[in-house]
Structure 1
Amino acid sequence: MTEPSVSRHDSTIHLTDPRALRAYAHPTRMALVGLLRREGPLTATRAAELTGESVASCSYHLRMLAKYGLVETAEGGQGREKPWRATARFTNWPNFSEDPAVAEASDALSLAVVERYFELMTARLEARQSDTREWREAEQLSDVLLYLTAAELTELGERMNELLEPYADRLADPDRRPDGARLITLIRAALPSSTRTVEQP
């Protein structure tokens, strides 16, 4: 049996094995982990209903995710009717590694995540016409150019995390959600610009 190639700390899965990184890069697997984090324990049958995948496909991908410690079985049920749950709220992986295999697998996973973000944003933009004015005006889509050192960029990320922390418990505890609260996908990217000048949209 393959041991999960992850470490767990503060409800975060740290992927460091190239095999785990490549396994998680599959779009269906990323979707399943996100679904389990949002909806709680689900069977492969229910996951198939929510994702549009077949039950057999969901069962296979859930087993692969379990192999690397990203999901685990919950109590109750048998076979395809056994529930699965995510093992942590967050997943991270190295931005830098001296190991070429880890670096390559990490970059491939990051690219897969960016593609997933694009799909989510495109789906929202296509559906926004049917939403209320209040929510459309509350949406945020913007960018800003800053000159920062690497240390300052790290500090900025930590300060953003602190701003988000008061809202974090609402994902797992519905009682903490105020009336009118909706699930929001907050996408963050802070990347050094290329040396070539690029006009901002």
Structure 2
Amino acid sequence: MRDLSGDPAAMSALAHPVRLALLELLGRDGPLTATAAGERLGQSPGNMSWHLRILARHHFVVEAEGGIGRRRPWMLTASGQRLDPEQGSEEERAAADALLSTVVERTFGQLRAWLASRRAAPSSWQRAAAVSQWTLYLTPAETAQVRDTIYQLLAQFGDRVEDPSRRPEGAMPVNAFVSMHPQALPPDKAQP
């Protein structure tokens, strides 16, 4: 897991839906050439090559072994990214806001696609998938504790992105989106 906090240039580079899709594709399918990635994402090889070079410049991907010329496969450098959007300079916060907005739009688009097609999925996946909403009364420390517990639980499966041999039979890429925030601050607690 790569921490993007303190690197606004990397956050800005990643705040593009095609680049997010490309990282997701590389995590799912392993090393790919720009041509193969373009075919799967409906993009031209030239466009994929350009996006891959930007991702490489910011250390999200590297060239995998065994490539020659235009047949160079690319692979991920980390199984995922995280950031603290509230820390750092104004530039860092602006870059984090742009990245988070792109991630949320992409995530909700994928959720909408799942909801629209879920009845065509095998019943085992229909039963396993979940969309839930909870209201919890927590302190900031408790919220951080719940968040950290969820992160630790999810991290147990992170090596399956980097090492496909660790994926059990029947495993599919599954999106996990966790959002924890106060519903609204009371007027006397809101900051200007």
Q: Counterpart of 2:115?
A: 125
TM-score, normalised to structure 1, is: 0.84
- Residues 78-124 of structure 1 show CA distances to partners (whole Å, capped at 9, x for unaligned) of 33310111111111222212411111111111011000101111111
Q: Counterpart of 1:28?
A: 18
Residue 126 (structure 1) shift: 2.0
Any stretches of 5+ residues in structure 2 without a counterpart? 187-192
What pairs with 1:169-180 in structure 2 (closer than 5 Å)?
169-180=159-170
The alignment partner of 2:75 has SS state of strand
Q: Which of 80, 83, 91 is matched with 2:73 structurally?
A: 83
Taking every aligned residue pair, what percent have the same amino acid on both sides?
39
Q: Counterpart of 1:147?
A: 137
- Residues 37-82 of structure 1 show CA distances to partners (whole Å, capped at 9, x for unaligned) of 2211110011001111111100000001111111111112233310
What pairs with 1:42-191 in structure 2 (closer than 5 Å)?
42-191=32-181
In 2, distance between residues paired with 1:168 and 1:82?
25
More strand per residue: 1
Work out the number of aligned pairs and report it.
186
Any stretches of 5+ residues in structure 1 without a counterpart? 1-10, 197-201
Deviates most, 111-120 or 155-164: 155-164
Deviates most, 120-129 or 43-52: 120-129
The letter of the residue matching 2:112 is: T
Distance change in 2, residues 1:193/1:132 (3 Å): same
The letter of the residue matching 1:30 is: L
Higher relative contact order (CA 8 A, sep 6+): 2
Give the RMSD, CA atoms, in angstroms: 1.9
